[in-house]
Structure 1
Amino acid sequence: RIQRRSASSSRSLLATYYLEVQIREEPPSTLSGNNLALSVATYNLNAEIINRYQSGNLTEQWQNDPVLNATSIIEFGVQEPQNQTTAYLSMINQLVIERQPGICRERSPCETQPVLIARDSAGHIITKLGSNDQPWQITATIIGSPGVGVVGGIANYSSGQSQFTTFGINATGTYQVQFSIITPRGIDSSFVTNINLTSDSSSITVALPRITAKQDVDIDVISKNEIFNLTTAIVDQKSQVKLDNIAWNTFTWSAAVSLYGSLQHQSNGILIQNLSSTVIINPQSGTITATNLAISEVGAYIIKLDITTSNNQYSIPFTSNCIIVKENSTTLNAITSSPSSNITYQGDYDKFVTAGTLETLHCTIYNYLTVVKKLPLNTNIILAKGSVNVYYEMDTGASANRSQISSGCSELASDPNGINDLVLSNLTCAGTQYTVKSSSISSSSSSSSITASNAGLIAGVVVGVCAALALLAAATYSAYKYKKLPSSKVAGQFNELYEPLERPQLGNAATTNPSNIANSSSQQ
């Protein structure tokens, strides 16, 4: 919308005009690779026009034009490609820090992320800067400290503010940060300095990082003696954001791999390593990979990595997800419908989630069912909330299996306290409901125990009210849990297995030979 001032002998009159310009592509006669190039050109032109107005460049050139200077732009709206609404734009006048960054640790995202807002000449917050597909960006740089940089230092501007999510500083100390607009498409670089679209932070103190390890990719099911690799990443403890470079000091990293030996119910397999087994540490990518591992017997296992630095600054105990080991000839099925076997335990599901021990519980229950009670499961188990529900299927084809199911489930029903911190309240095996023996733990001695009189009521609520939702969640979850492992995680079978001279105690494995531990960024 433009406005023209016309003079008369008595007064000045204002005339308002609406100028609409359409930029569009003609429909192509044939589809080809050139169509994409034409679309990109249209999007770029759209972004450039928006940028020229919001930077003030278009208004300045309009005023300097000998014909157009009798008018002025008083409103500028744009309907962008693939959008049916008109957005009215503002010209930027100021960039200010609305929220200072704070609680920062070296190489990790600050707990308080910076928020910057743009204002027009009237002081109003500008909601949108740039086009939808090419929003303006804000960058952060350290003032007066050469060699010190930022992580996550570029953010889009949208919804009336910057969108920093991983901003941090890569060195300890006290610093000041300057935030500035990155010169947008079609605008001269002097635009940022001429309008002074920068804003300096207050002093930011950066402490030592708090880090932990997180599994890069879960390993759900492998076969007995099948080779696999386990990769972990060093992450910020608070945000769980991966640290891309862990070589920020003179120390080196090392790691030892073994089987986690503290499961309540364990299988009798050992962790096997051959002559090519090693631990590869890639400081640049921040990953630690234990390679060429295998497990000797069926069951459920957790791999343990003890990660340390040479100066003892960091010692990180890491445990993997629950890994199911099956016979080579066995295929574990996916649970795709309402399972015929399920267990309800009274206990606090959220407590296991909060403590980070849900995978430990998964392995414990799986081994309890398959190793202790010898039930012929032909699926993995699925844990679901309410209180703790366990879903699975069993192979009922052979008569020997049916006999084992009958005896194993009878034993299970008579052992309500078989899993620590849980009390069995409901049991269905292959479609048959079993009567559960009353718990021997009194309600006064354990918050998770139940009495015989209220067991039926609680089980009824869990089974009758929550079963439909829980089973739906279980069926959805199973599609993820049983996906085929990629070849990068399971490389093949061992041709030669190297058994230890002395069999280790149950659940323990020989740690990686220190001579095989590599501190190399060239290996993956």
Structure 2
Amino acid sequence: MASFSKIAHIKPLVTITLRLRRQVSSIRLNIELRDEPRTSSTSTGGVLGELLSNIAANIINRYQTGQLQIAWKALNLTGDIIPVSLDAQEPFDNVSTPLGIINRTLLLIPPTSCRQQSPCTIQPVIVAYDAEGNVIQKLGTNDQPWQVQGTVIGQSSQILYGGIANYSNGQAQFQSFSLPNLGSYQVQFTFIQPNGINSSFFTTANLTVQTDPVTVTEAILGGQQVNNIYVVNVNDTFDISVVPVDNITGLQLGQIKWDNWTWWTNVTLYNLPNFNSHGSLIAQNISTTIVNLTAVTVTDLSINATGMYILNIRLVSSDNKHTIQMVSNGILVKNSDDNLVTDSDQLLSNVTFAGNYDALNASNQLEIKRAMIYNYFISCGMPLVSDITLLNGSVTALFQVSALPTIISQAVTILLKKPNAVPGLNLISVNINGRSYSVSSSPDSSSGISSDNQSANIGLIVGLVVGLASIQTQSPSLNRIGSGRITENVQSQAVILNVAQDEFYKVDYPLIEMELIAFD
């Protein structure tokens, strides 16, 4: 243990004001608890750091319960001089904070609108006051705050999901407090005994607060995809994982299954409003559904043709009381010998549509639009060498193309000919490798192209489809919209493509193998 000379210095970390009751004067005592200087200005770890943290928490906790004052007076070393206030300045705080002495607590907001295993829509809030009725802003230290725990009266041994909250900024605000089963429950909230405090204090202080009976109704469940898969090879297997969540708050459940039932799953290809690729979803003989404590996973799925696909995922509880219907992110399926460029700095092309990105995201339509945009680009012959990423603001698709100027011009011609081809989105502009095109305002324009580099009309010729190649990448995060993958050294292919349901264009290039791509 470090000597007192190493950890006690006369500098203002803990400031105690001592008052002689029979006189007007007071004494201000400043004490600093610290370790020797550290190499890192942000480090508080280590054995000595933990020791000092415990000492500081002990002093502050005993003061805020009044036990420090009682013990101080009982020692009778300073006569009638006892602490009447305590300020603390903790590591990395710029100012000292006055600390109050707890006198009572109040359940300011009780839990309301609670569903099975789901965070209550209205979360409980507990506030502590001193004897003068002032709200206590802080109880404990920054790294050891006081904690409030909620329990069901008569079932104190049952641990509630989200049942503990730290007291800070004048309240203990719960974030995911939930109750387990249908019925009516009375809940009590008590402080967990902090460091250095005698357990008898909370018994005598009576700081426990209780709710009126809280009604718990049937769970309303939704799903969130996790460990998202964005790019796979044709016929390669992949897994789809879903976390059941509360559909009202979007928060995790205490348990994803209860009452001895389990989840059944069904995964199919989602039918896009337009530009569907014509592959099939294949469940292998070894495909299984795995239900663990956190997620439901369908294993060993595959798709047998290139394009971008959305999966329709349906989970049904075995007791038929709960159903979750959702769609996956867009999954780009490519040939195994194609390569994608994944560096976002190399995504030098973009197409902008008039659309509400936030509204599409909120309605779970953003990935559906992304899949249609990708497949539409391919149907126009755009020589894509990447996945596409959608950017906020207007709906902007960011991607990269191969260096084939003639083919790019042909694809842009087709894009601008039908600016409303993607349902719900209106094409505004196209920027390919630094060259900008916009939809012509002239109704009699034969090409529909307006370029900042060239004003000549370009004949309508079909471009070619570029394969995409495999690389090993980690799964993106849950909130990712586009994978931003791209390719190098892509081999060109001649194609027959469908621009609209009744318009087909064909172009043959010598010495290049023909491939057939079909779209709805």
The verdict on a shared fold, with TM-score over 0.5 as the criterion, is yes
Q: Which residue of 2 aligns with 1:291?
A: 299
Give the deviation of 1:343 after TM superposition.
2.0
Give the deviation of 1:235 after TM superposition.
0.5
* 2:65 equivalent to 1:49: no
CA distance in structure 2 between the partners assigned to 1:275 and 1:199 by the alignment: 56
Distance 1:177 1:456, change over 3 A: farther
CA distance in structure 2 between the partners assigned to 1:94 and 1:456 by the alignment: 73
* 2:156 equivalent to 1:156: no
Q: Which residue of 2 aligns with 1:25?
A: 35
Superimposed CA distance per residue, residues 21-41 of structure 1 (whole angstroms, 9 cap, x where no aligned partner): 333324589xxx998111111
Match of 2:315 among 307, 319, 325: 307
Distance 1:87 1:425, change over 3 A: closer
Q: Which residue of 1 aligns with 2:251?
A: 241
Distance 1:193 1:483, change over 3 A: farther
SS in structure 2 of the partner of residue 50 of structure 1: helix
TM-score normalised to structure 2 length: 0.78
Distance 1:72 1:360, change over 3 A: same
Q: Which residue of 1 aligns with 2:498?
A: none
Distance 1:97 1:487, change over 3 A: closer
Distance 1:456 1:158, change over 3 A: farther
Q: Which residue of 2 aligns with 1:331?
A: 339
CA contact (8 A) 2:221 2:323 kept: no
| Within-5 A mapping of 1:203-218 | 203-218=213-228
Distance 1:279 1:263, change over 3 A: farther
| Within-5 A mapping of 1:120-159 | 120-144=130-154, 150-159=160-169
Which amino acid in 2 is paired with 1:228?
Answer: F
Tell me which moved more, 428-437 or 164-173: 428-437
CA distance in structure 2 between the partners assigned to 1:435 and 1:5 by the alignment: 83
SS in structure 1 of the partner of residue 33 of structure 2: coil
* 2:298 equivalent to 1:276: no
Match of 2:397 among 390, 408, 421: 390
Give the deviation of 1:427 after TM superposition.
2.7
| Within-5 A mapping of 1:394-409 | 394-396=401-403, 401-409=404-412
CA distance in structure 1 between the partners assigned to 2:289 and 2:428 by the alignment: 44
Which amino acid in 1 is paired with 2:473?
Answer: K
CA distance in structure 2 between the partners assigned to 1:312 and 1:27 by the alignment: 63
CA contact (8 A) 1:263 1:363 kept: no
CA contact (8 A) 1:332 1:378 kept: yes
SS in structure 2 of the partner of residue 47 of structure 1: helix
Q: Which residue of 2 aligns with 1:379?
A: 386
By relative contact order (CA 8 Å, sep 6+), the higher-ranking structure is 1
Superimposed CA distance per residue, residues 52-104 of structure 1 (whole angstroms, 9 cap, x where no aligned partner): 11111111112222333422211112222344422221111111111122111
* 2:187 equivalent to 1:187: no
Which amino acid in 1 is paired with 2:386?
Answer: T
CA distance in structure 1 between the partners assigned to 2:150 and 2:307 by the alignment: 51
CA contact (8 A) 2:278 2:305 kept: yes
TM-score normalised to structure 1 length: 0.77
Match of 1:485 among 474, 478, 491: 474
Distance 1:186 1:214, change over 3 A: same
Q: Which residue of 1 aligns with 2:429?
A: 426
Superimposed CA distance per residue, residues 266-289 of structure 1 (whole angstroms, 9 cap, x where no aligned partner): 11222233222111122x32x110
SS in structure 1 of the partner of residue 286 of structure 2: strand
Match of 1:266 among 251, 276, 280: 276
| Within-5 A mapping of 1:339-378 | 339-370=347-378, 372-378=379-385
CA contact (8 A) 1:335 1:392 kept: no
SS in structure 2 of the partner of residue 14 of structure 1: coil
| Within-5 A mapping of 1:52-131 | 52-131=62-141
Structure 1 residue runs without a partner (length 5+): 7-12, 441-450, 461-481, 490-505, 509-524
Q: Which residue of 2 aligns with 1:4?
A: 20
CA distance in structure 1 between the partners assigned to 2:344 and 2:262 by the alignment: 47
CA contact (8 A) 1:59 1:73 kept: yes
Superimposed CA distance per residue, residues 346-374 of structure 1 (whole angstroms, 9 cap, x where no aligned partner): 3333332232110000001101111x223
CA distance in structure 1 between the partners assigned to 2:415 and 2:181 by the alignment: 56
| Within-5 A mapping of 1:456-495 | 484-486=473-475
SS in structure 2 of the partner of residue 226 of structure 1: coil
Tell me which moved more, 100-109 or 360-369: 100-109
Distance 1:432 1:79, change over 3 A: closer
CA contact (8 A) 2:180 2:254 kept: no
CA contact (8 A) 2:227 2:475 kept: no
CA distance in structure 1 between the partners assigned to 2:392 and 2:96 by the alignment: 47
CA distance in structure 1 between the partners assigned to 2:353 and 2:94 by the alignment: 54
SS in structure 2 of the partner of residue 369 of structure 1: helix
Give the deviation of 1:137 after TM superposition.
0.3
Percent identity over the alignment is 34
Which amino acid in 2 is paired with 1:245?
Answer: Q
Structure (1/2) with the larger helix percentage: 1
Give the deviation of 1:5 after TM superposition.
3.5
Q: CA RMSD in A?
A: 3.2
CA contact (8 A) 1:230 1:290 kept: yes
Structure 2 residue runs without a partner (length 5+): 1-16, 453-470, 479-517
Distance 1:221 1:378, change over 3 A: same
CA distance in structure 1 between the partners assigned to 2:38 and 2:417 by the alignment: 74
Instruction: Report how many aligned residue pairs link the two structures.
Output: 442
Tell me which moved more, 74-83 or 333-342: 333-342
Give the deviation of 1:424 after TM superposition.
2.2
Superimposed CA distance per residue, residues 133-189 of structure 1 (whole angstroms, 9 cap, x where no aligned partner): 100000001113578653211000000000211111111211111111110001121
Give the deviation of 1:123 after TM superposition.
1.2
Which amino acid in 1 is paired with 2:240?
Answer: L
Match of 1:226 among 225, 236, 249: 236
Give the deviation of 1:260 after TM superposition.
1.6
CA contact (8 A) 1:341 1:428 kept: yes
SS in structure 2 of the partner of residue 275 of structure 1: coil
CA distance in structure 2 between the partners assigned to 1:211 and 1:276 by the alignment: 29
Which amino acid in 2 is paired with 1:77?
Answer: D
CA contact (8 A) 2:276 2:375 kept: yes
CA contact (8 A) 2:228 2:477 kept: no
